[in-house]
């Protein structure tokens, strides 16, 4: 029986109520008004970044014992399973963007643990473009549309990157083969930041999370991806959805790198710098378990669009780190959710913890369950309301230093690790890296290209020479001739 939202049966859902067969329509046709008004409110704002995405439910099954590092209950027994939601995404494109674009992929996990939700909101890359969050809104502006042309601007991207050498590591990954995965299944995921583990004895370890695709890594060239996009803008969504429907469940090996707390003072690099990896030779991967995706959501809007992941959601045994970008993200995500989804977003079914939620903030728009009336509606109270749990207090973190604007570039080596990555690529991969970069630099003013070439040269002279040769081969117009007004920038900012 079709009903109105108030539950009354609807007599006719095909014909409006009109005065005579030719109209006009009567204001009393409430069902028509209701349908139109509801349609006007069917969208929430798209995510400001990572707007295009796909998600699926699954489980983490623990295969190895890491309880000496963390008391987190989801790891407390081999064979233990925890339900999860994993949302993949591209970063720059809007909700209707094509999936097969060269871009970083989001890899956002929500583990529904028995002690609350743990969200690990990572990417398919182990590093990021910036190490100070002050630069994030500007960086994202360069990835989105130019305010005047409403087109994306290669000049803005390379201007920003060439003025921000800390981006070189991530730029190298982005333009390497792995910057264009064949879908979400054949790519790795990384927590990227350094987080912390703490155990029952109050010891802290620094930790990085890795998810290794058990489907193997598969990537497309630019030409292959262009052909895919011409046929199918939803290639990654389709691949994921159909694999799960046919029972071919994608899996990832979950691994961690563990650093004893005191080592952070000793490494040659800052282990909380998001533009750096921890070399495997120093901190080898330790297996933890297997993530499997095995159920498609039933309703995209309710379960994927409204899914709200935040790095601030950790559970006892897992903590943050001093990583500056992580610190900013701890604020940014829940703030985005309150704006994008609403005050009570965490009570929506996809976000709701499987463990009991006992909090004193109850009011606000769209509270859609009815809390049991109680005298214990503030804290402290004498009426048996929920109280804090001192046993889950994280061990104290020693910090020091005077407050000021520290130059995050001072003494920082932006070149060795990108150079290491360049040198581990085979000759054919290096050739594709050169031509991918040269292709993306079409129309960029020469002085910006030169500034960027100097960064490539500092990473490895062969890197710069390869890109330079590819530019000479590929660029159809002189590099100094801007192709769009968006490609004109007033002056070098350096």
Catalytic residue among 15, 64, 123, 294: 123
Q: Is 38 a catalytic residue?
A: no
- Residue 147: asked if its preceding bond is cis (omega within 30°), the reply is no
Least distance to ligand NDP, CB of residue 276, Å: 8
Q: Could you tell me the two tokens for 80?
A: 């233990």
* 42 Cβ contact partners less than 8 Å away, ≥ 6 residues apart: none
CB 339 within 8 A of CB 304: no
DSSP state of 391: G
Q: Total residues contacting ligand NDP (rule CB under 6 A)?
A: 17
Residue whose CB is less far from ligand NDP, 281 or 476 = 281
Give the number of other Cβ atoms within 10 Å of residue 16's Cβ. Answer: 14
Residue whose CB is less far from ligand NDP, 112 or 190 = 190
In whole angstroms, what separates CA 123 from the centre of its chain? 5
Residue whose CB is less far from ligand HEM, 81 or 338 = 338
Q: Is 64 a catalytic residue?
A: no
Least distance to ligand NDP, CB of residue 84, Å: 21
- Distance (Å, whole) CA 329 – CA 108: 13
Least distance to ligand NDP, CB of residue 226, Å: 20
Q: Could you tell me the two tokens for 449?
A: 């290209």
Query: Up-side HSE of residue 359: CA atoms within 13 Å toward CB?
Result: 10
**Distance spanning both ends of the chain, measured CA to CA:** 67
Catalytic residue among 50, 337, 344, 455: 50
Of 488, 485, 493, 490, nearest to 149 (Cα)? 485
Q: Which does 173 bind (CB under 5 to 8 A by kind): ligand HEM, ligand NDP, none?
A: ligand NDP
Per-residue binder mask for ligand NDP (CB under 6 A), 261-290, x = binder: ----------------xxxxx---------
Pairing of strands 195-198, 189-190: unpaired
Residue whose CB is less far from ligand NDP, 390 or 426 = 426
Please report whether residue 178 would count as binding ligand NDP according to CB under 6 A.
yes
Q: Max Cα separation, the chain? A: 85
Residue whose CB is less far from ligand HEM, 251 or 329 = 329
Least distance to ligand HEM, CB of residue 154, Å: 22
- Distance (Å, whole) CA 188 – CA 178: 9
CB 109 within 8 A of CB 310: no
Q: Which does 279 bind (CB under 5 to 8 A by kind): ligand NDP, ligand HEM, none?
A: ligand NDP
The residues pairing with 105 across neighbouring beta strands, listed in sequence order, are: 90
Please report whether residue 417 would count as binding ligand NDP according to CB under 6 A.
yes
Q: Which does 87 bind (CB under 5 to 8 A by kind): ligand NDP, ligand HEM, none?
A: ligand HEM
Please report whether residue 177 would count as binding ligand NDP according to CB under 6 A.
yes
Q: Which does 180 bind (CB under 5 to 8 A by kind): ligand NDP, ligand HEM, none?
A: none
Q: Which stretch binds ligand NDP (CB under 6 A): 173-181, 194-202, 308-316, 395-403?
A: 173-181
Q: Which stretch binds ligand NDP (CB under 6 A): 174-182, 223-231, 348-356, 443-451?
A: 174-182
Please report whether residue 68 would count as binding ligand NDP according to CB under 6 A.
no
Per-residue binder mask for ligand NDP (CB under 6 A), 179-218, x = binder: ---------x-----------------------x------
Whose tokens are 């046919």? That residue is 246
Please report whether residue 424 would count as binding ligand NDP according to CB under 6 A.
yes
Per-residue binder mask for ligand NDP (CB under 6 A), 113-152, x = binder: -------------x--------------------------
Least distance to ligand HEM, CB of residue 462, Å: 29
Length of the chain: 494
Query: Up-side HSE of residue 424: CA atoms within 13 Å toward CB?
Result: 10
Q: Which does 337 bind (CB under 5 to 8 A by kind): ligand HEM, ligand NDP, none?
A: ligand HEM
DSSP string, 183-238: SSTTS-EE--S-EEEE-TTS-EEEEEEEEEETT---B--HHHHHHHHHH-TTHHHH
Q: In the bound complex, which residue of the shown chain has the CB atom lying closest to ligand HEM?
A: 106
Residue whose CB is less far from ligand HEM, 47 or 185 = 47
Element spanning 286, H or E: strand 286-295
Residue whose CB is less far from ligand HEM, 134 or 488 = 134
The residues pairing with 113 across neighbouring beta strands, listed in sequence order, are: 116
Query: Computed over its alpha carbons, how large is the radius of gyration of the chain?
Result: 25
Q: Could you tell me the two tokens for 375?
A: 């005298």
Interface residue list for ligand HEM (CB under 6 A): 47-50, 53, 87, 89, 106, 108, 121-123, 128, 133, 136, 192, 307-309, 325, 328-329, 332-333, 336-337, 340
Whose tokens are 């897992």? That residue is 318
How far is CA 275 from each of CA 120, 122, 164, 321, 401, rounded to the nearest angstrom?
A: 18, 14, 11, 15, 22
Q: Could you tell me the two tokens for 306?
A: 């409204």
Q: Quick check: helix, strand or coil at residue 177?
A: helix
Q: Which does 71 bind (CB under 5 to 8 A by kind): ligand HEM, ligand NDP, none?
A: none
CB 460 within 8 A of CB 423: yes
Q: Which residues bind ligand NDP (CB under 6 A)?
A: 126, 173, 176-178, 188, 212, 277-281, 417, 420-421, 424-425
Catalytic site positions: 50, 123
């Amino acid at each position: 029986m079709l009903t109105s939202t108030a539950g009354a049966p609807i007599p006719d859902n095909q014909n409006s109520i009109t005065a005579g067969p030719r109209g006009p329509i009567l204001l009393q046709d409430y069902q028509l008004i209701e349908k139109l008004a509801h349609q006007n409110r069917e969208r929430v704002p798209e995510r400001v970044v990572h707007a295009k995405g796909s998600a699926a439910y699954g489980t983490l099954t623990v295969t190895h014992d890491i309880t000496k590092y963390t008391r987190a209950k989801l790891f407390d027994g081999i064979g233990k399973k925890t339900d999860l939601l994993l949302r993949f995404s591209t970063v720059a494109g809007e909700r209707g963007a094509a999936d097969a674009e060269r871009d970083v992929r989001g890899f956002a996990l929500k583990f529904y643990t028995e002690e609350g939700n743990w969200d690990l909101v990572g990417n398919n890359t182990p590093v990021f473009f910036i190490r100070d969050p002050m630069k994030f809104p500007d960086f994202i502006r360069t990835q989105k549309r130019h305010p005047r042309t409403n087109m994306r601007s290669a000049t803005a991207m390379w201007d920003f990157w060439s003025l921000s050498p800390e981006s070189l590591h991530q730029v190298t990954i982005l333009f390497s083969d792995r910057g264009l995965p064949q879908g979400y299944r054949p790519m790795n995921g990384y927590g990227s930041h350094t987080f912390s583990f703490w155990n029952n004895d109050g010891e802290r370890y620094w930790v990085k999370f890795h998810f290794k695709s058990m489907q193997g890594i598969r990537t497309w060239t630019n030409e292959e991806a262009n052909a895919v996009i011409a046929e199918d803008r939803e290639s990654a969504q389709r691949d994921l959805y159909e694999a799960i429907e046919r029972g071919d469940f994608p899996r990832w090996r979950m691994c961690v790198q563990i650093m004893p707390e005191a080592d952070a003072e000793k490494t040659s690099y800052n282990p909380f710098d998001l533009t750096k990896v921890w070399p495997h030779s120093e901190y080898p991967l330790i297996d933890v378990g297997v993530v499997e995706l095995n159920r498609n959501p039933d309703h995209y809007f309710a379960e994927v669009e409204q899914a709200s992941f935040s790095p601030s959601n950790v559970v006892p045994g897992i903590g943050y780190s001093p990583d500056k970008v992580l610190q900013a993200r701890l604020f940014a995500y829940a703030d985005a959710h309150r704006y994008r989804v609403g005050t009570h977003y965490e009570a929506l079914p996809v976000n709701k913890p499987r463990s009991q939620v006992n909090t004193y903030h109850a009011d606000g728009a769209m509270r859609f369950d009815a809390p049991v009336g109680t005298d214990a509606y503030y804290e402290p109270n004498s009426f048996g309301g929920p109280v804090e749990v001192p046993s889950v207090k994280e061990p104290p973190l020693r910090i020091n230093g005077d407050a000021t604007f520290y130059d995050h570039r001072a003494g920082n080596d932006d070149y060795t690790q990108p150079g290491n990555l360049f040198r581990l690529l085979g000759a054919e991969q290096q050739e594709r890296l050169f031509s991918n970069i040269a292709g993306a630099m079409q129309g960029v003013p020469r002085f910006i290209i030169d500034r960027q070439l100097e960064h490539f040269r500092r990473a490895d002279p062969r890197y710069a020479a390869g890109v330079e040769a590819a530019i000479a081969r590929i660029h159809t117009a002189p590099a100094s001739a801007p192709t769009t007004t968006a490609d004109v920038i007033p002056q070098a900012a350096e």
